[in-house]
């Protein structure tokens, strides 16, 4: 069978790597893909938004399964276009992707179906929003309703910061249509983790929990990014929290989507905070997380094509996870998430059998890889435990150590290693 992955980032590179391992896969295509992906896939020069082009390609090339990586084409109805053409596709329809596309919709759904999340109110009027913010006080969180490329959330430590965030979004149109409406929500304190699941209607098959690191710099300092590194599974998470997240969050929300006539098929991603009252939802995404996917998929022992076909057929997929831990650290262009230079040559990277390199923003020029995006690579490794996975990963990062064109966080997973170690000391 031929498969097609839509997207151009690290998440999609991981997907094509996994598909390329499958014995039942003939050709792997990526649209548009990236320089790294072209090592394992045939990259097609068709953009994620060219629905007619993608449908025609899938028909002509005998594609038996298409997987959509990013949120924008999902929200624009790419899955609907494939379904109308009777092409097998793994991902939510436009109606179902709204769980990511509108924070207000997601909050209403959670409130109505009693799914644990932060208390909130939604506003389109700036005065009303500011009155609510003053009544509640800081810290408080202000979110643009729609997609804002990961920049639409302000965790305000002061009242002034929250008031001006509301003004920027509602009055000054900071994110255009995406901030015509905002959600103002209670600040939740606790450890964050991500839980992704294969979903078809009310059937939910969870993956391992993962931890992303969203801030640009060590010690969780600096601006929010798309994610600077991740590891899985999150061993600090106790079993009852994991079970709670599956039973009281993912399963009820999948059932709620069915009840609302927005039955969800694809990957449902819950961004969660483990509060003193148990896990609560920060956000839902309608797709694989990036960089979580890059550290979760290497631990999956099953054929991912078979898993997705089973889920689409309404069957329970086999999900077997290897022992051990997988970690990954993002190499970013200096300046990211602000302005950065492109076209910088990348040094050679060596990894051992447990290690891997995932390309996010690279191009191939004059016989070498150069940078072409903010997040450039993710370098990762499996290990028997988190400390070993991280040691191997950081070994492979040495070529980037003194490169002024690139930077990476030196502390991915570190606080979790030390808390695991201190648990061991106590026991």
Q: Strand pairing of 63-68 and 89-90? A: parallel
CB of 71 to ligand GLY, least distance (A): 8
Q: Which does 379 bind (CB under 5 to 8 A by kind): ligand AMP, ligand GLY, none?
A: none
- Inter-axis angle of helices 304-312 and 10-20, nearest 10: 100
Partner that binds at residue 334, options ligand GLY, ligand AMP, none, CB closer than 5 to 8 Å by kind: none
Using alpha carbons only, give the angle 194, 198, 200 rounded to the nearest 5 degrees.
135
Q: Residue 366's Cα: distance from chain center in Å?
A: 32
Which helix (H) or strand (E) covers residue 255, if one does? helix 251-259
**Using CB atoms, what's the residue nearest to ligand GLY?**
289
Residues 182-241 that bind ligand GLY (CB under 6 A): 212, 227
- Binding window for ligand GLY (CB under 6 A); candidates: 126-134, 282-290, 341-349, 365-373: 282-290
Number of chain positions touching ligand GLY (CB under 6 A): 6
Tokens of 324: 């051990």
Binding site for ligand AMP (CB under 6 A): 118, 141, 150, 153, 155, 185-188, 192, 214, 224, 271, 282-283
SS (H, E, C) 289-321: CCCHHHHHHHHECCCHHHHHHHHHCCCCCCCCE
Q: In terms of CB distance, is 50 or 411 closer to ligand AMP?
A: 411
Rule CB under 6 A: which of 288-317 touch ligand GLY?
A: 289-290, 292
- Report H helices in 330-408: 386-396
Judged by CB under 6 A, the stretch of 196-204, 285-293, 303-311, 419-427 that binds ligand GLY is: 285-293
C-beta of 87: minimal distance to ligand GLY in Å?
A: 25
Vertex 291: Cα angle to 288 and 296 (nearest 5): 70
**100: contact with ligand GLY by CB under 6 A:** no
32 preceded by a cis bond (ω within 30 of 0): yes
Q: Which is nearer to ligand GLY, 83 or 224 (CB)?
A: 224
Judged by beta carbon, residue 236 or residue 351, the one nearer ligand AMP is 236
187 binds, among ligand AMP, ligand GLY, none (CB under 5 to 8 A by kind): ligand AMP
Q: What per-residue string of b and e applies to 289-318 under the rule 16 or more CB within 10 Å gives b? A: bbbbbbbbbbbbeebbbebbbbbbeeeebe
Q: Contact at 8 Å (CB) between 322 and 233?
A: no
Task: State which residue, 146 or 298, has the beta carbon closest to ligand AMP.
Answer: 146
- List interacting residues with ligand GLY (CB under 6 A): 212, 227, 285, 289-290, 292
């Amino acid at each position: 069978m031929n498969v097609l992955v839509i997207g151009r980032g690290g998440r999609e590179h991981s997907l094509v790597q996994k598909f390329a391992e499958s014995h039942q896969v003939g050709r792997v295509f990526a649209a548009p893909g990236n320089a790294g992906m072209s090592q394992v896939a045939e990259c097609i020069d068709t953009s994620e938004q060219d629905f007619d082009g993608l449908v025609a390609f899938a028909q002509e090339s005998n594609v038996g399964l298409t997987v959509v990586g990013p949120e924008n084409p999902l929200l624009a109805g790419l899955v609907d276009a494939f379904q109308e053409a009777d092409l097998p596709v793994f991902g939510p329809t436009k109606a179902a992707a709204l769980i990511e596309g509108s924070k207000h919709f997601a909050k209403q759904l959670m409130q109505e179906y009693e799914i644990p999340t932060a208390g909130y109110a939604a506003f389109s009027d700036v005065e009303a929003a500011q009155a609510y913010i003053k009544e509640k006080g800081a810290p408080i969180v202000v979110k643009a309703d729609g997609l804002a490329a990961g920049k639409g959330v302000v965790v305000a430590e002061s009242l002034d910061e929250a008031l001006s965030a509301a003004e920027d979004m509602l009055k000054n149109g900071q994110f255009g249509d995406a901030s015509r409406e905002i959600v103002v929500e209670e600040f939740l304190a606790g450890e964050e983790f991500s839980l992704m699941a294969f979903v078809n209607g009310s059937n939910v098959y969870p993956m391992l929990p993962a931890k992303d690191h969203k801030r640009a710099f060590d010690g969780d300092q600096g601006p929010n990014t798309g994610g600077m590194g991740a590891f899985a599974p999150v061993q600090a998470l106790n079993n009852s929290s994991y079970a709670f997240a599956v039973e009281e969050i993912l399963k009820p929300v999948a059932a709620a989507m069915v009840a609302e006539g927005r039955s969800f098929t694809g990957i449902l991603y819950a961004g969660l905070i483990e509060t003193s009252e148990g896990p609560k939802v920060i956000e839902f995404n309608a797709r694989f997380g990036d960089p979580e996917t890059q550290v979760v998929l290497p631990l999956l022992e099953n054929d991912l094509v078979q898993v997705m076909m089973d889920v689409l057929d309404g069957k329970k997929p086999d999900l077997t996870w290897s022992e051990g831990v997988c970690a990954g650290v993002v190499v970013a262009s200096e300046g990211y998430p602000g302005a950065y230079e492109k076209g910088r040559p990348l040094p050679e990277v060596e990894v051992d059998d447990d290690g891997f390199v995932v390309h996010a923003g690279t191009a191939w020029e004059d016989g070498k890889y150069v940078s072409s995006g903010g997040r450039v690579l993710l370098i990762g490794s499996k290990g028997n435990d988190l400390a070993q996975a991280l040691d191997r990963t950081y070994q492979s990062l040495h070529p980037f150590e003194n490169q002024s064109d690139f930077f990476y966080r030196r502390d991915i997973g570190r606080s979790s290693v030390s808390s695991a170690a201190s648990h061991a000391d106590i026991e």
